[in-house]
Amino acid sequence: MPQTTIYSAPPNSPLVPIPAVATHEVARLFGGSAALAGVSLSVERGRLVTLVGPNGAGKTTLLRILATSLRPTFGAALVDGIDVVARPELVRRRVAFLAHATGLYDDLTATENLRFAATMLGRADAADAVPATLADVGLAADADRRVRGFSAGMRRRLALGRLLLAEPSLVLLDEPHAALDADGMALVDRLLERWREGGATVMVASHHADRIMDLADGWARLDGGLLVETGGRGIGATAPALARTAPATAVADR
Amino acid sequence: MTGARADLAIAWAIARKDALSELRGRQAAGSTLFFAALVLLLFGFALGPDSRKLAEAAPGLLWLAIVFGGLLTVARLHQVETDDDALDQLARYPVDRRAIYLGKALAGLLAMAVLGGLLLPVVGIMYSVDLLAAGPGLLLTLLLGAIGFAAVGTLYAGVTVRMRAREVMLPLLMLPAIAPLLLAAVKATTAALAGDPLGEFWPWVQLLAGFDVIMLIAGGAGYGFLLEE
Amino acid sequence: MKTRILGVVALLAVLAAAANALFVVPADLNQGDAQRIMYVHVPSAWLGYLSGGVTALAGIGYLWKRDLRLDAIALSAAEMGVMFTAFAIWGGMMWARPIWGVFWQWEDPRLTTTALLLALYAGYLLFRRLTDDPHRRAARAAVVGLVAAADIPIVHFSVEWWRGLHQGPTIGSPDKLLTPAAPSQFVIALLAMLGAFTLAWAWLMIRRYQLARIQWQLEEHGRLGRLSAARRAATSTSASVQASTEGAP
Amino acid sequence: MTDVWYVVAGWVVISGGMALYAVTLLRRLRGTRERSLKIRRGAEAAASDEGSE
């Protein structure tokens, strides 16, 4: 049923000039403050990259824009060359996003939550896929319990399971380690490996930089809503223009 | 491939999930019903003990109680989605926005139909109205009214869901918009209860159906824009 | 400048048409002087409905083109709509009292429809005030305006039927009661008022739109200012790749 | 004869209301334009300062 063809050409192929993620001066304001103040970066296909930086650096905002959950106030963002504002429906087929909030329904059981997600993702094989996924994320024993009684870590595991039901070419993870125990963190690492082997591009925003760094190809540091530093392979800044933001000329018409 | 069938399956999945949540979180649904019944009781006090007058006013009171209860119902159905930012997640699924709207509206319709169905006997008993005589016509009116209310309510609940002061804004936007629905439903109910002596029942039912169709189209076209942030 | 000319013309037109309607045209044989309210009531009602239509169309246009200028048109028209429907209701009440003996006649479909139109567009304006982000506000307002516009014909139908499907109207509608002493003069005076009010409406629309646009530019200026402030704050505190290129053209 | 007073009330409120709205609108427009122009002059001044440095 999924209409997507997963594009998994080797990351270094010269035939793949379109980056998995490209943003141009993308910015988002919330009321009086700029959560993201203009970031231009590009991520190569098939790479696993991390976004690091303190709280309020703009990591979550950037991921939410790429996931089509937030419109940028200024600038543009492309996923696989597709504009997230102009054609969000095409972007959604390619992206899987683990948000900070788990987006689960409290009064449904773990199985019901995943089966709902499977239907929404167009999986015809939900009956087999859901129990397998629950086992994958270590929730097989809690399959028929309502999510209301779950701990924060269990909710996160379930949200990770929902992510596994999708077949994305770009995976966006916002603090995947939050609320997880050592076992859960190891699960995240396993999943990261799995996506990488499947050829998907992965962007992870994380405080646990040390934990991710060994796995990641490259990294970018955000601070105060700006891209301040990139390193490693697969991710880079694309526009240095920072001094260009002159105030808008206010026009008085007749 | 089978786009329409897939969309219907999605809409059904959304409605089913909402219905399950409603059934399991019974307190909220139950208090809405209690509230609507209370409204009916207070109307009785407001209009005085004259039972003939009450029986005459019964269709109008029934529909006002449905409207008040329905306002709470459609707001609650969207509240389920905001508890854990599920609406955000719902909007990210690669599905047609119209299917999401249809699903939420279907859930609203189910809840409204149950509310109306349970209020009917209350009205029958409290205002001594003979419901059985008017059976099928009454049920048809109830169904069409519930569809229209769910169509508008789902859209406006989506408009106000992440807003400041949404408790005020939802009724404020919605009550004028459903005025024709209220009018037609009350008229059809009155006609059905009286055995339709003037042949007025069908025109009003047609008007209700027209309202339902127009609002479903407007809702399907508009709902997708509400999921943006 | 052109707008100023339009304003002067509109003002003169309203004054001339008003003088004609109040002092030149003879009173109605049936209704007497009370009928003169029609000269302001009818144009107000027309402009109320016109504004509603413009709000809905501009909203749909916004959803299609994503151009905030269309949203500014929708906002301006909605404000006009609230004002003119309020005028229409006031005029209707002032007419109904001497003729029907009551301020409010529930059975008159026009009065009731107009009241609902007022409620719908007042809600629309209130709703806009409570949302900040310009595009989110524009999109949601457009949906509200669309539903309101879809509602109006149904409201009109339902209230029309409400009077009774099979009896004729118990109380005549305004035009049936009219028996002008000088029919052609009456029609010309009404058309003149309609034209003059429409000119005034157009002028108000343009001015309101200009205000909305300048306000939007100020908002946008504030947004860009906050953005630059955030950039300055971030670059001054951290030695960065991008900071080293600051000053590049 | 009291009819006339209803006519007067109708006309005065409608034409007066329209005039009041127009005047308020023009005043708001002038105020907003001045704010906008001030910002523009400020920006131009800042730009020419930078140029002279």
Segments of chain A with pLDDT less than 70: 1-17, 239-254
What does the block give as tokens for B42? 């207070």
Q: Virtual CA dihedral for B21, B25, B28, B29, nearest 10 degrees?
A: 60
CB within 8 Å: C34 and D7: yes
Long-range contacts of residues D29-33, Cβ cutoff 8 Å, at least 24 apart: D29/C207, D29/C210, D29/C211, D29/C214, D32/C211, D32/C214, D32/C215, D32/C218, D33/A252, D33/C214
In chain A, the domains with their CATH numbers are: 21-237 (3.40.50.300)
CB within 8 Å: C227 and A237: no
Length of chain C equals: 249
Chains with at least 3 CB pairs less than 8 angstroms from chain B: A, C
Chains with at least 3 CB pairs less than 8 angstroms from chain A: B, C, D
Return d(Cα A74, Cα A85) in angstroms, integer.
Answer: 11
Minimum CA–CA partner of D15 in chain C: C40
Q: List b or e across B203-217, with b for residues whose CB sees 16 or more CB atoms inside 10 angstroms.
A: bbbebbebbbebbbe
Predicted pLDDT of residue C164: 55
- In A212-251, the residues whose Cβ lies within 8 Å of chain D are 246-247, 249-251
Return d(Cα A16, Cα A141) in angstroms, integer.
Answer: 43
Determine the number of helices (DSSP H) and then strands (DSSP E) in chain C: 8, 0
Q: How much is the average pLDDT of C33-58? A: 90
Q: Which of C195, C171, C196, C189 is nearest to C28 (CA)?
A: C189
Predicted pLDDT of residue C85: 94
Give the pTM. 0.87
Chains with at least 3 CB pairs less than 8 angstroms from chain D: A, C
CB within 8 Å: C231 and A245: yes
> Quick one: residue A247, left, alpha or beta (phi over 0 = left, psi -120 to 50 = alpha)?
beta
Q: What are the distances in angstroms from CA B148 to CA B101, B154, C101? A: 14, 10, 37
Residues of B in contact with C162 (CB under 8 A): 183, 187
> Nearest-5° angle of CA A155, CA A161, CA A164?
155
Phi and psi (nearest 5°) for A170? Answer: -135, 125
Q: Which residues contact D31 (CB under 8 A, 6 or more apart)?
A: none
B124 three-state secondary structure = helix
Average pLDDT over chain C, rounded to an integer: 82
Q: How many angstroms separate the CA of residue A113 from the nearest CA in chain B?
A: 9
Residues of B in contact with A117 (CB under 8 A): 93
Which amino acid would we find at residue C237? T
Number of CB pairs, chain C paired with chain D, less than 8 A apart: 73
Neighbours of C2 (CB within 10 A): 8
CB within 8 Å: A105 and B229: no
Asked whether residue C53 carries a pLDDT value surpassing 80, the answer given is yes
Q: Which residues contact D3 (CB under 8 A, 6 or more apart)?
A: C32, C33, C34, C98
Neighbouring-strand partners of residue A235: A43
Residue to substitute from D1, D3, D8, D26, interface C, most C β-carbons within 10 A: D3
Number of CB pairs, chain A paired with chain D, less than 8 A apart: 17
Neighbouring-strand partners of residue A171: A96, A202
Neighbours of C98 (CB within 10 A): 19
ipTM value, please give it: 0.83
CB within 8 Å: C218 and D18: no
Q: How many angstroms separate the CA of residue D17 from the nearest CA in chain A?
A: 25
Predicted pLDDT of residue A210: 74
Predicted pLDDT of residue A247: 36
Asked whether residue B53 carries a pLDDT value surpassing 70, the answer given is yes
Predicted pLDDT of residue A249: 37
Minimum CA–CA partner of C64 in chain A: A86
Return d(Cα A25, Cα A40) in angstroms, integer.
Answer: 5
Minimum CA–CA partner of B209 in chain C: C154
Return d(Cα C94, Cα D14) in angstroms, integer.
Answer: 11
Residue to substitute from D8, D13, D14, D41, interface C, most C β-carbons within 10 A: D14
Phi and psi (nearest 5°) for C68? Answer: -65, -15
A182 touches chain D (CB under 8 A): no
**CB distance D9 to C101 below 8 Å:** no
- Which residue in C2, C136, C231 is closest to A37 by CB distance? C231
Phi and psi (nearest 5°) for C185? Answer: -60, -40
Q: How many angstroms separate the CA of residue C119 from the nearest CA in chain A?
A: 29
Minimum CA–CA partner of A254 in chain D: D33
Neighbours of C204 (CB within 10 A): 22
- More confident position, B161 or A13: B161
Predicted pLDDT of residue C3: 85
- More confident position, C110 or B207: B207
**CB distance C112 to D35 below 8 Å:** no
A172 three-state secondary structure = strand
Residues of D in contact with C207 (CB under 8 A): 22, 25-26, 29
State the pairing for strand pair A95-98/A41-43.
unpaired
Phi and psi (nearest 5°) for A222? Answer: -105, 145
Predicted pLDDT of residue C200: 95
Residues of C in contact with D11 (CB under 8 A): 18, 22, 36-37, 40
- Which residue in D33, D43, D47 is closest to A252 by CB distance? D33
Q: How many angstroms separate the CA of residue A216 from the nearest CA in chain C?
A: 21
Per-residue pLDDT of C73-128, as tens digits, reads: 999 999 999 999 999 999 988 888 887 777 877 767 777 888 889 999 999 999 99
Q: Which of B124, B122, B127, B116 is nearest to B63 (CA)?
A: B116
Q: What are the distances in angstroms from CA A100 to CA A162, A206, B52, B89, B94? A: 14, 11, 59, 11, 20
**CB distance A105 to B16 below 8 Å:** no
Map C25-55 to HEC letters: CCCECCCEHHHHHHHHHHHHHHHHHHHHHHH
Specify the residue for token string 């909402």: B18
CB within 8 Å: D32 and C44: no
What does the block give as tokens for C131? 């949302």
Predicted pLDDT of residue C247: 36
Predicted pLDDT of residue A245: 36
Per-residue pLDDT of B62-108, as tens digits, reads: 999 999 999 999 998 888 888 888 999 999 999 999 999 999 999 99
Predicted pLDDT of residue A111: 94
Q: Which of B173, D30, C1, C50 is nearest to A252 (CA)?
A: D30
CB within 8 Å: D21 and C37: no
What does the block give as tokens for B128? 């001594």
CB within 8 Å: A103 and B228: no
Q: Give the CB-side neighbour count of residue A146, counting CA atoms within 13 A.
A: 11
Return d(Cα A163, Cα A95) in angstroms, integer.
Answer: 10
What does the block give as tokens for A192? 């990261």
Predicted pLDDT of residue B210: 92
**CB distance A237 to A41 below 8 Å:** yes
List residues of B whose CB lies inside 8 A of any C CB: 152, 155-156, 159-160, 163-165, 169, 172-173, 175-177, 179-180, 183-184, 187, 198-200, 203-204, 207, 210-211, 214-215, 218-219, 221-223, 225-226, 228-229
CB within 8 Å: D36 and A247: no
Neighbours of B162 (CB within 10 A): 18
Give A246's DSSP letter: P
CB within 8 Å: A252 and D43: no
Q: How much is the average pLDDT of B156-174? A: 89
CB within 8 Å: A226 and C223: no
* Cα separation of the two ends of chain C: 38
Q: How many angstroms separate the CA of residue A157 from the nearest CA in chain D?
A: 52
